[in-house]
Structure 1
Amino acid sequence: MFLQKISLLMSLLSPLAWFIWFTYAVILPLCTFLGWLALPFVFFALVIADVFVIIQLLKVTYSEDDEYETFLTTREALKTIFPEASNKDIKKYDKQLDKVKDFEPVLIISPNHNWINQHTLQNYQMVMNAFAIDSLQQNNRRDGNSLLIFHFSTMTELYTVRQNVRTLHPNAYFNPVAQPKQEPIGAAWIFYKVGASKCDFGEDDNFFIC
């Protein structure tokens, strides 16, 4: 029973805490009482401690992987959002998303080339620039100059900017039942990071509906 309680206590300690406890509870007393004779025991104890720390770290790593195993990686999500993007571009976008904290909303807009053909690339970039700078101080941007990936602090901020851009650039939004048929400026994806390299994301079909 006593050994079971000790084992339970050890399992609750972090690897660093366990190593510190082991040092003060075992290694230092051995050195104090046995002097140089304790060196073989100390070496053996350190090996055991290192092995235990590695096991604990592996447990933490795999438990995090299991927690997020149903989510895609950021790179996989980007390939879904930008199926025609090159590996170089995907790597660049992935690097930009690395700076985002867990569960902070990111708006990713994949362009609609039909809209661009109708309204010109310059007008498209003007709208994307509005998403990048709206409600921010001068010279600040939320897109890392990508004109594709927009990082927000909250969902409230994201949809406030959406409303502001809609007011400034109504032609970027469309009426799905209008005749002749109207085109949205692009597809809007809401993206979150979860864990070290996983994410959750989905397309907001109503984002560009006026």
Structure 2
Amino acid sequence: MNLSGEEMSEYSDCPSTREALESIFSKAPNEQILKYERQLADIKLLDPVLIIVPNQNWIHQYGWNVYHTVMDSFATDGLQNERRDENSRAIFHFASNTELYTVRRNVENRFPNAFMDQPSLQALTPNPRLYPIGTAWILTNVAKRKSEFGEDDKFFNSN
């Protein structure tokens, strides 16, 4: 997709991909931001990207090995001998929103403990899942090196 100068100016208020990554991974070292920036450089315009920032409370409860297993599921669900994360276990490229949310449902079915019970239901649940595995962000490249992004604060709520 080639954008005209007029279309490009439409996105001038959008943050750069680097600014988006620095906001999402506020504690990450520059090397990690550069690695993620390179990973996003090849994403097609308007393709959705899921970015997951680990929740330390969840990791303390279940451990890094379980965390990596769940992230590997996001990376490989529905694929054969491929990964949608370039082994980052943090940034997952999807061809469509439908694919992204289908994978989300599949991962929740396999790993329900990665998703938290809704706060309004936690008091009613015998062993509530209090923490989600991470924070989910959805990023879309809208122009060369320009992105629109936001936190999906309901992504890891159990359905």
Distance change >3 Å, CA 61–CA 88, structure 1 → 2: farther
Q: Counterpart of 2:95?
A: 153
Matched, 1:121 2:64: yes
> Which AA in structure 2 matches 1:173?
F
Cα displacement string for residues 4-41 of structure 1 (whole angstroms, at most 9, x for unaligned residues): xxxxxxxxxxxxxxxxxxxxxxxxxxxxxxxxxxxxxx
Aligned residues: 150
Counterpart secondary structure, 2:141: strand
> Which AA in structure 2 matches 1:157?
E
Higher RCO, 1 or 2 (CA under 8 Å, sep at least 6)? 2
Matched, 1:192 2:140: yes
Q: Counterpart of 2:37?
A: 94
Q: Counterpart of 2:85?
A: 143
| TM-score, normalization by structure 2 | 0.89
**Higher Cα radius of gyration:** 1
Q: What is the rounded CA distance, in whole Å, between the counterparts of 1:91 and 1:79 in structure 2?
A: 10
Q: Counterpart of 2:157?
A: 209
Q: What is the rounded CA distance, in whole Å, between the counterparts of 1:81 and 1:117 in structure 2?
A: 21
Matched, 1:163 2:111: no
TM-superposed deviation, 1:156? 0.3
| TM-score, normalization by structure 1 | 0.68
Cα displacement string for residues 48-78 of structure 1 (whole angstroms, at most 9, x for unaligned residues): xxxxxxxxxxxx9864552211100000000
TM-superposed deviation, 1:152? 0.4
TM-superposed deviation, 1:176? 3.0
Q: Counterpart of 1:70?
A: 13
- The unaligned stretches of length 5 or more in structure 1 are 1-59
- The unaligned stretches of length 5 or more in structure 2 are none
Q: What is the rounded CA distance, in whole Å, between the counterparts of 2:153 and 2:5 in structure 1?
A: 35
Q: What is the rounded CA distance, in whole Å, between the counterparts of 1:80 and 1:61 in structure 2?
A: 28
TM-superposed deviation, 1:181? 6.6
Query: Percent identity, aligned pairs only?
Result: 50
Counterpart secondary structure, 1:206: coil
Q: Counterpart of 1:183?
A: 131
Larger helix percent:
1
2:115 aligned to which of 173, 180, 183: 173
Q: What is the rounded CA distance, in whole Å, between the counterparts of 1:147 and 1:69 in structure 2?
A: 30
Q: How does 1:8-157 map to 2 (within 5 A)?
A: 63=6, 65-137=8-80, 139-157=81-99
Which segment is superposed worse, 70-79 or 171-180?
Answer: 171-180
Quote the RMSD (CA, aligned, Å): 1.6
Q: What is the rounded CA distance, in whole Å, between the counterparts of 1:78 and 1:96 in structure 2?
A: 11
Q: What is the rounded CA distance, in whole Å, between the counterparts of 2:52 and 2:62 in structure 1?
A: 17
> Which AA in structure 1 matches 2:106?
N
